[in-house]
């Protein structure tokens, strides 16, 4: 007999609304979901989950007999359906955030502002995929007044799948850039995939926030009925400075941020648009923006003991985000050193996109650019201010020999490059 989702929900309630998917991190009394992956089968660990304190285990294969094992057709689908059911039971207002770059920064800024007045639930870390979004929703509680949920995508259809689980009332797409080109097949594919959030909001009488500084989004926004637009020139904003850090006036109030660059000001403008719509007061908008300090290798401005100023933005990278970072970095005063690591998941676009970044460096006022990785090592650029290194170790030695002091440094690359390893050299 196949259990209905309402029956699974009763087990979830009996498990004190606690869910586990990793036997190494079992919460006592939780409901364990035996997920499968390319290299693992959670069904094989269901017994261990129960021994470690799980109250029940949801499986789609039975390897032992135990009344605490709940057999379903598909564990992942069950997890997603349970999350959707829980979201509907609570009926919490939900903002979905998509986009190529800046999703996490926008999410954290928005949460910083909304939390000044509302009990706010939000995506932790990078739990923004077909597993992470359900887990985020299952952490929702009755006292939460709003949820801010990040929606990630690697291919067309991913965003719509997540929307059908999370059912956002509101949607924001930060921008359209050259992300995951291997899966999307070009920037047109990126735009089509990200637009699925606006498609969902439009079809379900939701509300959208449209970045008018992005030509793709400005065009998408034309068909939306219920929306707020935002931009660098939005009403109430004036005297915007983005380097060395963002300072601007909003409705006569000066607001400052530790973030820098026009791309981060777009994230701030998005935050203001959401806050306005949700009637957050001006003092709390200011308070929330100024309180936000980035972490986890994202847009971190670090002043080192050697007197260097490091812009550490090494959590991830794609051609669009690297170009934005370089454009911002160029505006800093003083000697400038850029360390760029390979950009992953570009597929057939890998060679041309790395070459384009190398050319950008060549024609940049940045004093020295170190390009690191197998892809950057294949680029052809003859310039005194550009050096390529096949391996990180070679670049580390070269930089160590320079002994840089009192310079500005940009560190950026895809997650797999772990470019934060260079921080200790400055």
Residue 63: predicted pLDDT: 85
Over residues 215-262, the pLDDT tens digits come to: 999 999 999 999 999 999 999 999 999 998 999 999 999 999 999 999
Calculate the average pLDDT of the chain: 95
Answer whether 244's CB lies under 8 Å from 295's CB. no
- Confidence band (pLDDT; 50, 70, 90) for 37? confident
Residue 254: predicted pLDDT: 97
Answer whether 387's CB lies under 8 Å from 358's CB. no
CB atoms within 10 A of CB 383: 13
- Confidence band (pLDDT; 50, 70, 90) for 185? confident
Over residues 104-163, the pLDDT tens digits come to: 999 999 999 999 999 999 999 889 999 999 999 999 999 999 999 999 998 999 999 999
Q: How crowded is the C-beta side of 36, counted as CA atoms within 13 Å?
A: 13
CB atoms within 10 A of CB 423: 18
- The size of the chain, in residues, is 426
Task: Give the list of residues 6+ apart from residue 100 with CB closer than 8 angstroms, or none.
Answer: 174, 175, 176, 177, 178, 179, 190, 194, 318, 320, 321
Answer whether 12's CB lies under 8 Å from 31's CB. yes
Over residues 349-369, the pLDDT tens digits come to: 999 999 999 999 999 999 999
Answer whether 35's CB lies under 8 Å from 48's CB. no
Residue 297: predicted pLDDT: 87
Q: How does DSSP classify residue 118?
A: S
Q: Which two tokens stand for residue 186?
A: 């070009």
Residue 168: predicted pLDDT: 98
Answer whether 332's CB lies under 8 Å from 244's CB. yes
Residue 162: predicted pLDDT: 98
Residue 172: predicted pLDDT: 98
Over residues 266-303, the pLDDT tens digits come to: 999 999 999 999 999 999 999 999 999 998 888 899 99
- For the chain, what percent of residues have pLDDT higher than 70? 100
Query: How are beta strands 386-389 and 368-372 bridged, if at all?
Result: parallel
Answer whether 208's CB lies under 8 Å from 226's CB. yes
Residue 38: predicted pLDDT: 84
Q: Is the pLDDT of residue 1 over 70?
A: no
Give the H/E segment covering residue 386. Answer: strand 386-389
Over residues 306-342, the pLDDT tens digits come to: 999 999 999 999 999 999 999 999 999 999 999 999 9
Q: How does DSSP classify residue 417?
A: G
Residue 421: predicted pLDDT: 95
Q: Is the pLDDT of residue 343 over 90?
A: yes
Domains of the chain, CATH where assigned? 5-74 (3.40.1390.10), 91-291 (3.40.1190.10), 300-425 (3.90.190.20)
CB atoms within 10 A of CB 202: 18
Q: Is the pLDDT of residue 13 over 60?
A: yes
Please give the angle made by the CA atoms of 224, 276 and 136, to the nearest 5 degrees.
75
Cis? peptide before 179, omega within 30° of 0: no
Residue 344: predicted pLDDT: 96
Residue 340: predicted pLDDT: 98
Question: Is the pTM here over 0.75, yes or no?
Answer: yes
Q: Which phi and psi (to 5°) does residue 65 adopt? A: -100, 120
DSSP SS3 for 271: helix
């Amino acid at each position: 007999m196949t259990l209905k989702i309402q029956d699974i929900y009763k087990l979830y309630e009996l498990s004190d609304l606690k869910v586990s998917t990793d036997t190494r991190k079992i919460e006592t009394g939780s409901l364990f979901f035996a997920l499968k992956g390319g290299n693992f089968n959670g069904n094989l660990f269901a017994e261990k989950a129960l021994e470690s304190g799980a109250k029940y285990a949801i499986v789609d294969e039975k390897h032992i007999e135990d009344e605490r094992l709940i057999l379903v057709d598909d564990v992942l689908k069950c997890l997603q359906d349970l999350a959707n059911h829980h979201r509907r039971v609570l009926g919490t207002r939900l903002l979905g955030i998509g986009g190529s770059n800046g999703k996490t920064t926008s999410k954290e800024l928005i949460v910083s502002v909304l939390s000044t007045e509302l009990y706010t639930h939000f995506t932790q870390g990078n739990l923004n995929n077909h597993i992470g979004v359900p887990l985020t929703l299952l952490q929702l509680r009755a006292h939460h007044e709003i949820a801010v949920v990040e929606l990630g995508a690697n291919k067309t259809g991913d965003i719509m799948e997540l929307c059908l689980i999370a059912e956002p009332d509101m949607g924001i797409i930060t921008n359209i850039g050259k992300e995951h080109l291997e899966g999307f097949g070009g920037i047109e594919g990126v735009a089509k995939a990200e637009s699925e959030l606006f498609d969902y909001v439009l079809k379900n009488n939701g509300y959208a926030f449209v970045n008018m500084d992005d030509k793709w989004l400005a065009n998408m926004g034309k068909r939306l009925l219920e929306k707020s637009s935002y931009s660098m020139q939005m009403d109430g904003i004036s005297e915007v400075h983005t380097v060395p850090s963002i300072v601007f006036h909003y409705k006569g109030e000066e607001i400052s941020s530790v973030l820098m660059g026009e791309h981060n000001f777009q994230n701030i403008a998005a935050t203001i648009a959401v806050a306005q719509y949700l009637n957050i007061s001006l003092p709390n908008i200011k308070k929330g923006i100024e309180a936000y300090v980035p972490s986890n290798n994202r847009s971190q401005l670090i002043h080192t003991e050697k007197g260097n100023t490091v812009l550490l933005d090494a959590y991830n990278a794609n051609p669009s985000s690297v170009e934005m970072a370089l454009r911002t970095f160029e505006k800093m005063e003083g000697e400038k050193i850029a360390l760029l690591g390979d950009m992953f998941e570009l597929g057939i676009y890998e060679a041309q996109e790395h070459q384009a970044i190398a050319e950008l460096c060549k024609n940049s006022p940045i004093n020295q650019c170190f390009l690191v990785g197998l892809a950057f090592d294949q680029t052809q650029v003859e310039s005194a201010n550009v050096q390529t290194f096949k391996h990180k170790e070679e670049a580390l030695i070269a930089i160590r020999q320079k002994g840089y002091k009192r310079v500005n440094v940009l560190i950026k690359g895809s997650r797999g490059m772990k470019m934060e390893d260079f921080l200790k050299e400055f």
